[in-house]
Copies of this chain bind each other. A is one copy, B any other.
Amino acid sequence: MYERNEYPRPMVTVDTIVFALREDDLQVLLVRRRHPPFEGTWAIPGGFVEMDETLETAAQRELEEETGLACVALEQLYTFGDPGRDPRGRSITVAYFAAVPAGSVVARAGDDAAEVGWWSINDLPPLAFDHDEILAYALTRLRYKLEYTAVGFSLLPEQFTLTQLQAAYEIVLGVRLDKRNFRRKILSAGILSPAGGYCAGEGRPARLYQYRDDAVAEVKARRLFP
């Protein structure tokens, strides 16, 4: 056996799955790796945890370094640590996930990323490490959360129409919802307030709404949909 402080230590990384609704589809932000292993392969943005930062801070930092995306609310997803998941040696990754509005600007590729891109969840490239497993898990969790909490709103711009909101739910959940029932339910939940403006489009202009930040973040005790 080893003395307490002489245990061999695994590498510890953080990875962040970022979801957005783009092109009528649920997409995730991926980076093409600039370094081995899996050089040139697409992967979830992430990297090594520094010794003096929290895990969430590390996730934020790596996300910004590799994709330019900053200031997004992260939630811890799961920790993956099977031996053999990394060819360099024992490695444990704490996965985080986020949902962002479609308009979020993704600046540049960073030091460790040769390229940054959005990929449809239904049409993914081959992925590095066990990142396909992590993504599958993240998708399950996103759907689950959508039914119980208010994550749906973080996929939309600050102001949005009820039709946009319904479309977001339909795309993520992969089901069609009844317009009247949807509107009644979301309005009676009391988490939206009219923004006052209208959004002109091809037909009749639609009322704009915004999320009431005075509503508790977690929509309590009752699922929203279906």
Contact = CB atoms under 8 A, between A and B. Distances in A.
Interface of A: 4-5, 7-12, 35, 48-49, 51-55, 76, 78-79, 81-83, 88-90, 92, 94
Contacts of A10: 9, 12, 49, 51
Contact of A79 (B4, B35, B55, B88): B55
Please indicate which of the listed interface residues A7, A52, A53 has the most CB atoms of chain B within 10 Å of its own CB: A7
A102 to B, nearest CB: 29
Total identical chains: 2
B52 A83 contact: yes
Nearest to A81: B55
A163 to B, nearest CB: 26
The 10 closest A-B pairs by CB, nearest first: A9-B9, A55-B81, A79-B79, A7-B48, A51-B90, A79-B94, A10-B12, A8-B51, A52-B83, A54-B82
A4 B47 CA distance: 10
A30 to B, nearest CB: 20
Contact of A54 (B7, B83, B88): B83
A92 to B, nearest CB: 6
A83 B48 contact: no
A12 B90 CA distance: 11
Contacts of A7: 11, 48
A117 to B, nearest CB: 23
